[in-house]
Amino acid sequence: MSFQQQQQQQAFFEQQISGHSIFIKLNDGEFVAKSHSIENNNEQNFYEWIQHIDGYQEFFSQYNGVAIIEKNQEISKQETINSQQKWLDTLISKRYNPNNKKYLILENLTQNSQNLRILDLKLGYSVEKQSHIQRYQDSTSSKVGLRICGMKIQENNELVLFKDKHWGRTISVQELIESLKTFFGLKNRNQILKEAIEKIESLKQFIISHCKQVTSWQGTSLLLIYRDDNDFKIKLIDFSNTKVDLESTQIKTGSSRRSFKQSIGYNKANLINY
């Protein structure tokens, strides 16, 4: 696929709150392009596989293939300077490589949204990657299988709260719980919490029923998005370490599987307690 004819408008994705990849918003913002590592095809392999399962879009971003994106002009940035934009500018300066032209094309989950609340929760108690083991052991990941990788709250179209992954690695379990309470601090909180619990349970059942070929979910995150028209989404994201075995016919019982399922269970249990 080539988006070469549709590149009159390119902008760094202003709603990004976490991650290592660079996201570029294309044209009217219907799609976002996620930078894709040439050396690691895990995420592409996962989306190529999951897109053939009916109903996957309810739990995962809609996948629109891989595109070669040519840089035909300077990619624009948001002019407003706030804590989130400063974080994003730092990420861009470190990670953006104009020579990397291969991108995954995904739906924009925040298109035409205002007063967003976005929360990225990294799932899992442990990880096999040596360079990441310490951050799991020293954070809430090792205790409850959840870690905040990013959180953003807007009110009256202004940013009122932004927290990044570095903050999320330092907080206690109690601070994690308080942050979840802040995120769900809405007038219709009970309704949204009920919806969140139902969505998490549906995600869990979808994985049990349809994802027997996934042998590792390490490094995945749960993305929660709420906007002021009471639209609420929960999606599973980040699959650079996810492994798919097409020969597998039953749910694996390895540590990464248990860690992932326990994390989802903990998230659901704590939402119930709120």
User: If DSSP codes are grouped into helix, strand and coil, which group holds residue 156?
Assistant: coil
Contact 214, 242 (CB under 8 A): yes
Tell whether the model's pLDDT for residue 253 goes beyond 60: no
Percent with pLDDT over 70 in the chain:
85
Mean pLDDT of the chain: 87
Q: Which residues pair with 244 in a beta bridge?
A: 214
The answer to whether position 251 is within a domain reads no
The answer to whether position 263 is within a domain reads no
The answer to whether position 268 is within a domain reads no
Read off the pLDDT band of 36 (50, 70, 90).
Answer: confident
43-81 pLDDT, tens digit per residue, is: 999 999 999 999 999 999 999 999 988 766 677 777 767
Read off the pLDDT band of 130 (50, 70, 90).
Answer: confident
- Whole-prediction pTM: 0.89
Tell whether the model's pLDDT for residue 8 goes beyond 60: no
pLDDT for 255: 46
Q: Which domain holds residue 160?
A: 11-244
Domain CATH number, residue 230 = 3.30.470.160
138-180 pLDDT, tens digit per residue, is: 999 999 999 999 999 999 989 999 999 999 999 999 999 999 9
What is the domain count for the chain?
Answer: 1
CA distance 106 to 41: 16
**pLDDT winner (highest mean) among 7-11, 80-84, 113-117:** 113-117
Q: How far is CA 65 from the centre of its chain?
A: 18
The answer to whether position 6 is within a domain reads no
Helix, strand, coil % (nearest 5) of the chain?
Answer: 35, 25, 40
Q: Characterize 125-141 residue by residue with b for buried, 16 or more Cβ atoms within 10 angstroms of its Cβ, and e for exposed.
A: bebeeeebeebbeebbb
Cα torsion 5, 8, 14, 19 to 10°: value is 30
User: If DSSP codes are grouped into helix, strand and coil, which group holds residue 150?
Assistant: strand
pLDDT for 149: 97
User: If DSSP codes are grouped into helix, strand and coil, which group holds residue 161?
Assistant: strand
Task: Tell me the one-letter amino acid at 245.
Answer: D
The answer to whether position 150 is within a domain reads yes
Tell whether the model's pLDDT for residue 12 goes beyond 70: yes
The average pLDDT across 77-102 equals: 89
The answer to whether position 42 is within a domain reads yes
The answer to whether position 159 is within a domain reads yes
Tell whether the model's pLDDT for residue 198 goes beyond 70: yes
The answer to whether position 149 is within a domain reads yes
